[in-house]
């Protein structure tokens, strides 16, 4: 937490400065209100900050005991029509982003304390910046390079000739395998494996012949990779994750995929090999993306959707059957099994009606 907290005015000034003036808030109420942490509207108290980004929670905002609430202008007008509120109101165009930046100010990430644990194993030919930190039982192999202020957590593995960029943190147990690279200010959570072999096998007489996976994984700056996510190395070329990508837990990225800058991917998504996902996409949890296809920049894909063909134009795509009772599902499934037969019957009826009209 930032010392003993910050006033609303201090938070607003810090966020305006950190965004170079792109995110400016108007304060309605007491700018000296002291805030020490963030909390949900329902449980927040006078020293905590809440936010309202969805009109469904308007009643919760009205009843909240939060010391300050961040919201947009329309929500402020509809939620507090008299302009009066027990909480200090922080009005801006992007309340969720303002709230996130305020949370960072109130609970900053721990600073890296440089050092090398005696229990770590660091190859002589590895290059470790003097400001980096290597924790207990981490392994840094020959030719690896660890950048300034990087933090390699306990039990991590950095393979031969791998590279970790400045201010990037590998949480305990993360794996960055041989030759793979990650840029600056990245976060790799525990259990993630970057650079395992891609799933490449050639059939021969009922058996499968392994294809050597000789490419790398190349990850840009400001990328976050969730716990137990796996990103396979390329078969020959590289698997590429561009700048600013955010990946949740337990995602599988196949070999030779390319994920465009600032795309966000929720948990349990599976992406087969050689798929290309554009910039600024949003992919919901448990979506499945087949290999050798492309998804246009700015595409949104709903949770649980199967993407089986290229998406050439940005849009909001959904491909699942809505929830229903099991009894209704069984009835509908029975109809679907006979869909081809029903289609043929309709075609015959249409042809008969057409003949009658012609007569």
**Per-residue pLDDT, 2:** 53
Confidence band (pLDDT; 50, 70, 90) for 260? very high
Q: How many domains does the chain have?
A: 3
What does the pLDDT average to over 94-111? 95
d(CA 62, CA 69): 10
For residue 244, tell me if it sits in a domain: yes
Give the three-state DSSP class for 79: helix
- Among 106, 127, 142, give the residue marking a domain's end: 106
Q: Are residues 203 and 79 in the same domain?
A: no
Q: Are residues 150 and 291 in the same domain?
A: yes
Q: Are residues 96 and 239 in the same domain?
A: no
Q: What is the DSSP string of 14-72?
A: HHHHHTTTSS--EEES-TT-EE-EE--TTT--TTEEEE--SGGGHHHHHH---SEEEE-
Q: Is 196 exposed, middle or buried (0-12, 13-18, 19+ CB in 10 A)?
A: middle
Are 282 and 264 spatial neighbours (Cβ–Cβ below 8 Å)?
Answer: yes
For residue 1, tell me if it sits in a domain: no
3-26 per-position pLDDT tens digit: 589 999 999 999 999 999 999 999
What does the pLDDT average to over 55-76? 95
**Per-residue pLDDT, 188:** 98
262 in active site? no
d(CA 137, CA 253): 28
109-144 per-position pLDDT tens digit: 899 999 999 999 999 999 999 999 999 999 999 999
Q: Are residues 266 and 301 in the same domain?
A: yes
**Per-residue pLDDT, 323:** 84
d(CA 325, CA 337): 18
Q: Is the pLDDT of residue 268 over 90?
A: yes
d(CA 227, CA 32): 39
Q: Are residues 80 and 206 in the same domain?
A: no
Q: Are residues 241 and 350 in the same domain?
A: no
Residue 249 sits in which domain range?
A: 115-317
Q: Which of 34, 189, 255, 262 is catalytic?
A: 255
CA 213 to chain centre: 26
What lies within 8 Å, CB to CB, of 147 at 6+ separation is 129, 132, 163, 164, 165, 166, 167, 168, 184
**Per-residue pLDDT, 3:** 53
Question: Residue 41 is part of a domain; what is its CATH number?
Answer: 3.40.1390.10
Q: Is the pLDDT of residue 293 over 90?
A: yes
**Per-residue pLDDT, 320:** 82
- Among 74, 106, 138, give the residue marking a domain's end: 106
Q: Which of 121, 80, 75 has the alpha carbon at shortest distance from 94? A: 75
Q: Are residues 129 and 276 in the same domain?
A: yes
What does the pLDDT average to over 309-323? 92
For residue 71, tell me if it sits in a domain: yes
Q: Are residues 312 and 330 in the same domain?
A: no
**Per-residue pLDDT, 357:** 82
Give the three-state DSSP class for 305: coil
Are 219 and 183 spatial neighbours (Cβ–Cβ below 8 Å)?
Answer: yes
Give the three-state DSSP class for 219: strand
d(CA 109, CA 171): 13
Give the three-state DSSP class for 96: helix
What does the pLDDT average to over 324-328? 93
d(CA 297, CA 215): 25
Mean pLDDT score of the chain: 95
**Per-residue pLDDT, 251:** 98
**Per-residue pLDDT, 284:** 98
Q: Are residues 252 and 344 in the same domain?
A: no
For residue 334, tell me if it sits in a domain: yes
Provide φ and ψ at 211, rounded to 5°: -95, 120
d(CA 153, CA 137): 9
Sign of the torsion angle spanned by Cα atoms 91, 92, 93, 94: negative
For residue 147, tell me if it sits in a domain: yes
pTM: 0.91
172-220 per-position pLDDT tens digit: 999 999 999 999 999 999 999 999 999 999 999 999 999 999 999 999 9
**Per-residue pLDDT, 336:** 87
Q: Are residues 293 and 333 in the same domain?
A: no
Are 89 and 76 spatial neighbours (Cβ–Cβ below 8 Å)?
Answer: yes
Q: What pairs with residue 210 in β-bridges?
A: 201
- Residue whose structure tokens are 């400065």: 17
Q: Are residues 237 and 330 in the same domain?
A: no
Question: Residue 160 is part of a domain; what is its CATH number?
Answer: 2.160.10.10
d(CA 232, CA 195): 5
Confidence band (pLDDT; 50, 70, 90) for 275? very high
d(CA 276, CA 58): 40
**Per-residue pLDDT, 20:** 96
For residue 140, tell me if it sits in a domain: yes
Q: Is the pLDDT of residue 1 over 80?
A: no
Higher pLDDT, 354 or 34: 34
Higher pLDDT, 26 or 356: 26
Q: What pairs with residue 66 in β-bridges?
A: none
d(CA 34, CA 161): 49
Percent over 90 (pLDDT), the chain: 90
Q: Is the pLDDT of residue 99 over 50?
A: yes
Q: Are residues 331 and 293 in the same domain?
A: no
């Amino acid at each position: 937490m930032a010392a003993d907290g910050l006033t609303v005015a201090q938070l607003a000034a810090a966020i305006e400065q950190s965004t170079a003036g792109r995110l400016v808030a108007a304060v309605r109420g007491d700018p000296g209100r002291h805030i020490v942490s963030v909390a949900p509207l329902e449980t927040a108290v006078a020293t905590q900050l809440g936010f309202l980004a969805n009109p469904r929670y308007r009643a919760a905002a009205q009843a909240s005991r939060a010391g300050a609430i961040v919201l947009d202008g329309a929500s402020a007008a509809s939620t507090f029509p008299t302009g009066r509120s027990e909480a200090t109101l922080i009005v801006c165009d992007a309340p969720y982003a303002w709230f996130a930046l305020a949370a960072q100010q109130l609970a900053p990430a721990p600073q890296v304390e440089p050092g090398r644990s005696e229990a770590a194993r660091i190859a002589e030919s590895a290059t470790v910046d003097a400001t980096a930190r290597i924790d207990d039982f981490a392994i840094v192999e020959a030719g690896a390079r660890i950048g300034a202020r990087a933090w390699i957590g306990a039990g991590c593995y950095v393979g031969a000739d791998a590279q970790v960029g400045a201010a990037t943190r590998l949480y305990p147990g993360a794996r960055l395998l041989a030759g793979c690279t990650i840029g600056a200010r990245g976060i790799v959570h525990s259990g993630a494996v970057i650079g395992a072999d891609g799933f490449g096998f050639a059939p021969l007489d009922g058996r499968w012949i392994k294809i050597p996976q000789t490419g790398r994984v190349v990850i840009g700056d400001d990328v976050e990779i969730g716990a137990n996510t796996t990103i396979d190395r390329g078969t020959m070329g590289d698997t590429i994750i561009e700048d600013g990508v955010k990946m949740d837990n337990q995602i599988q990225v196949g070999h030779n995929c390319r994920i465009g800058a600032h795309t966000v991917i929720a948990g349990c998504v599976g992406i087969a090999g050689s798929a290309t996902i554009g910039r600024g996409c949003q992919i919901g949890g448990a979506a499945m993306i087949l290999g050798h296809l492309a998804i246009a920049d700015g595409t949104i894909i709903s949770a649980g959707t199967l993407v089986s063909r290229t998406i050439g134009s940005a849009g909001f795509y959904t491909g699942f059957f809505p929830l229903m009772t099991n009894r209704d599902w069984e009835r509908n499934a029975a109809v679907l099994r006979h869909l081809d037969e029903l289609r043929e019957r309709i075609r015959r009826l249409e042809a008969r009606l057409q003949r009658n009209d012609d007569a």
